[in-house]
Amino acid sequence: MADEGATGQDGFLRWRLKTEGVIMPEERLPAGQTVVVGLQHVVAMFGATALAPILMGFDPNVAILFSGIGTLIFFVAVRGRIPSYLGSSFSFIAVVIAATAYAGQGPNPNIGVALGGIIAAGVLYTAIGLAVHVAGHGWVERLMPPVVTGAVVAVIGLNLAPIAVKGISASSFDTAIGIVTIVAVGMAAVFPPGLWRRIPILVGGAIAYLVYLVLANLMGLGKPIDFTGIAGAAWFGLPRFTAPVFEFSAMALIAPVAVVLVAENLGHVKAIGVMTGRNLDPWLGRAFIGDGIATIVAGAGGGTGVTTYAENMGVMAVTRIYSTLIFLVAALFAILLGFSPKFGALILTIPGPVIGGLSVVVFGLIAATAGRIWVENKVDFSNARNLIVVGTALVVGAGDLAIRIGGFTLGGIGTATFGCILLYHLLREREA
């Protein structure tokens, strides 16, 4: 393992000051620059971390608060070795909506049931992390090779597709706004210079919000945005925490998301290892444990499940600043935002068709990420086993095939996930 700088008796990094060039995890910028870069990471995570709870009917203030707390938990778990931010995981959206029968607008009346499931996923995730910490990570890669993890990721995006389309289909005006949102996000991802390309959800969403404001509030073409909630909200105050409710059916439906979180985190840690020139494999177990505990804590208070964020990895790739200290700063800023009801009220004014347009893009990107996994890992689709495994999983997940055994129901994503893993290994044995 490459030199990682000084460590204290507690095993944490002791950062060395560096003012120019590439800033490695064990190095730090001057205090002022550290704060600025930390704020930049808050902006990078904000669009997706605020959108995910809205799509599930959760309180975005609470989700943002727990994203900061979760990042601190992850930091402690990995002893400051891995630069990562934990934000709301989109992997939970489909199963939460299915478990709670959420209608798609306003607060989710069955949020407690979803929280119980999120905690179950966190417990399973933590258990996997403990197993990896003790036995190494090789068994995870054998159990879920790239062809399987890619299929599972694609299933999540495709399973969510009807929800996204419904969000922009209520009227011609809503459809038009949805299209404007999609185009705005696309342009924000392609045309702006430098770091602006790393936050297309935030930039594109802001542009679509302004277009809706002009067309609806000023020209009367749609339902106007109501700003009264912002005026009545306090600048600082406690978020609306919610207690979990543990129902076996919901827990069984949501817990398998842990498999996806493992695949996400595995890929992220390996990517960061390449970016920094560090062998981070020995820290994978701790990374899973940190993410799992953070998800449990979030579920205990009303937050969404969390995962390491590609948006923040993108910022690191552009800036070449990998200091883990900046993620402490970002986490503290997120916690402050979580204690601002006025900030939360502003988020809740985002119009439905704008959210729908953002959903089309985000869910599509989730599905498309599968292609990236397959390409980067050179998955061979001339192999009949791979074709059958992926093809079956996609249809089962997109069609939302549910398996009912007595009083237990396994939803489309769970069916596709476990079916994909079992089918891959069954066919591999037969092929041998």
For residue 15, being part of any structural domain is answered with: no
Say how far residue 374 (Cα) sits from the centre of its chain.
20
Which spans in 247-351 are helix H?
Answer: 248-254, 257-276, 284-301, 310-319, 325-338, 341-347
Does the residue 383 lie in any domain? yes
Give the model's pLDDT for residue 240: 85
238 part of a folded domain: yes
At 7 the pLDDT is: 58
Beta-bridge partners for 321: 23
Q: Which two tokens stand for residue 124?
A: 């399973």
CA of 210: how far to CAs of 43, 177, 344, 349, 366, in Å? 19, 11, 18, 12, 26
Tell me, yes or no, whether 424 lies in a domain: yes
User: Could you give the 3-state DSSP secondary structure of residue 164?
Assistant: helix
Q: Which pLDDT tens digit goes with each residue over 379-414?
A: 999 999 999 999 999 999 888 887 776 555 666 777
Question: Going residue by residue through the chain (432 aa), what tens digit of pLDDT does each one get?
Answer: 444 555 554 566 678 888 777 888 888 888 888 888 787 778 767 767 888 898 888 988 899 999 999 999 999 999 888 998 998 887 888 889 888 988 777 789 999 999 999 999 999 999 999 999 998 878 877 888 888 888 877 887 787 788 778 888 888 999 999 999 999 988 988 888 766 766 677 788 889 999 999 998 888 888 888 888 888 778 888 888 999 999 988 898 888 888 878 877 887 787 788 778 888 888 889 999 999 999 999 999 999 999 887 667 767 776 788 888 989 999 999 999 888 888 778 877 888 888 888 878 877 877 887 887 788 888 999 999 999 999 999 999 888 887 776 555 666 777 888 888 899 999 875 544
Give the per-residue pLDDT at 183: 93
Residue 4 inside a domain? The answer is no
Structure tokens at 195: 């770091």
Tell me the pLDDT tens digit for each residue of 134-166: 988 788 778 888 888 888 778 877 877 887 788
Does any domain span residue 1? no
In a domain, 195, yes or no: yes
The whole-angstrom distance between residue 197's C-alpha and the CA centroid of its chain comes to 18
Residues whose CB falls within 8 Å of the CB of residue 168, separated by 6 or more in sequence, listed in order: 174, 175, 177, 178, 179, 353, 356, 357, 360
**Count of structural domains, the chain:** 1
d(CA 70, CA 294) in angstroms, rounded, equals: 4
Q: Which helix (H) or strand (E) holds 408?
A: strand 408-410
Buried b (16+ CB within 10 A) or exposed e, 220-249: eebbeeeeeebeebeeeeebeebebeebee
Domain span at residue 263 reads 24-431
CA 413-91-136 angle, 5° bins = 95
Is 11 domain-assigned? no
Q: What is the pLDDT of residue 405?
A: 66
Look at residues 127, 154, 376, 125 and name the one whose alpha carbon lies nearest to residue 267.
Answer: 376
Which residue from 30, 31, 24, 33 is spatially nearest to 5, judged by alpha carbons? 24
Give me 101's structure tokens.
């029968």
